[in-house]
């Protein structure tokens, strides 16, 4: 699960250190985890749905064992809820839970942003990667690439954590990110892409500026309030309706 972050670190190596990547083998468990998250994000599974081992196994053409391990992993990330002998369900989400997730995420990223602010004082180049992502974000907004926007948005915030050099922070942040991915799914199209790009640039500038309380306030606004503006409950209802399933 922390492997993606390692890959990011690798892509940031200087030429002197550049080597062939270690390329760790992907086991079925890893693939299953990805597949399940993706399925949840694209609405194949809906919040509250049961996730049946045998069914997943059959659809992915593997046995139940690796699936079980993948499900356990997702359980401990809060994405699935397990009751012994009664099976796994995708997490139930409502506006309240969304807010709780966002609040925790805010706490983590505020810490990260403050830390980066400190690091910038000695070396302003620290946050160069954030600027790069902001540039990509602007480009994606220009060409109306909603998928790109969503990906880069997540990447920005992950990088925010990564740059602190605290792997524990990244590892702690990751499950929250996964949960949000699943909750929002493809809902990103609802929002104004230009403003997304601008908000991130502002954040990067504020980190650079060294103004602590302004950064804090802005981050709070960016994380907590922006997503709240979309009509969440309606979104959930719409997704449920579009699938039109009853197997609860």
Partner DNA sequence: GCCGCGCTTATCGTATACAATACTCTATCT
Partner DNA sequence: AGATAGAGTATTGTATACGATAAGCGCGGC
Q: Is 77 in contact with 178 (CB distance < 8 Å)?
A: yes
User: String of b and e for 170-180 (b: at least 16 CB within 10 Å)?
Assistant: beebbbbbbbb
Site string for a copy of itself, 184-203 (x = CB under 8 A): --------------------
Is there binding between residue 81 and DNA (CB under 7 A)? Answer: no
Site string for a copy of itself, 7-26 (x = CB under 8 A): -----------------xxx
| Tally of CB atoms within 10 A around 233 | 11
* Length of the chain, in residues: 248
Task: Choose the one of DNA, a copy of itself, none that binds residue 50, judging by a C-beta under 5 to 8 angstroms depending on kind.
Answer: DNA
End-to-end CA distance of the chain: 29
Least spacing, CB of residue 93 vs a copy of itself, in Å: 11
Site string for DNA, 83-122 (x = CB under 7 A): -xxxxx----------------------------------
CA distance 230 to 184: 10
Of 68 and 132, CB closest to DNA: 68
- Residues 18-37 within binding reach of DNA (CB under 7 A): 25, 27-29
- Residues 42-71 within binding reach of a copy of itself (CB under 8 A): 65, 68-69
| DSSP per position, 146-208 | HHHHHHHHHHHHHHHHHTTT-HHHHHHHHHHHHHHHHHHTTGGGGS-HHHHHHHHHHHHHHHH
Structure tokens at 56: 């997943």
Residues forming contacts to DNA in the complex (CB under 7 A) are 25, 27-29, 50-55, 62-66, 68, 82, 84-88
Residues forming contacts to a copy of itself in the complex (CB under 8 A) are 1-2, 24-27, 29-30, 65, 68-69, 72-73, 75-78, 83-85, 97, 100-101, 103-104, 106-108, 110-111, 166-169, 171-172, 175-176
């Amino acid at each position: 699960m922390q492997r993606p972050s390692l890959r990011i670190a690798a892509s940031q190596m200087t030429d002197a250190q550049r080597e062939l990547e270690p390329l760790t083998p992907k086991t079925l468990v890893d693939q299953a985890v990805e597949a399940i998250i993706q399925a949840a994000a694209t609405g194949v599974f809906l919040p509250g749905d049961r996730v049946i081992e045998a069914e997943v196994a059959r659809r992915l053409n593997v046995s139940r064992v690796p699936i079980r391990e993948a499900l356990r992993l997702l359980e401990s990330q809060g994405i699935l809820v397990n009751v012994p002998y009664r099976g796994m369900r995708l997490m139930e989400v409502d506006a309240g839970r969304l807010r709780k997730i966002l609040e925790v995420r805010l706490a983590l990223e505020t810490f990260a942003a403050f830390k980066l602010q400190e690091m910038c004082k000695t070396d302003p180049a620290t946050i160069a990667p954030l600027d790069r992502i902001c540039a990509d974000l602007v480009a994606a907004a220009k060409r109306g690439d909603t998928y790109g926007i969503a990906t880069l948005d997540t990447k920005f915030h992950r990088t925010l954590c990564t740059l602190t050099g605290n792997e524990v922070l990244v590892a702690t942040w990751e499950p929250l990110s996964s949960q949000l991915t699943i909750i929002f799914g493809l809902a990103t199209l609802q929002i104004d892409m230009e403003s997304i790009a601008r908000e991130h640039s502002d954040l990067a500038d504020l980190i650079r500026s060294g103004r602590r309380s302004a950064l804090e306030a802005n981050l709070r606004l960016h994380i907590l309030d922006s997503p709240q503006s979309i009509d969440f409950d309606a979104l959930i209802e719409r997704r449920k309706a579009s699938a039109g399933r009853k197997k609860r």
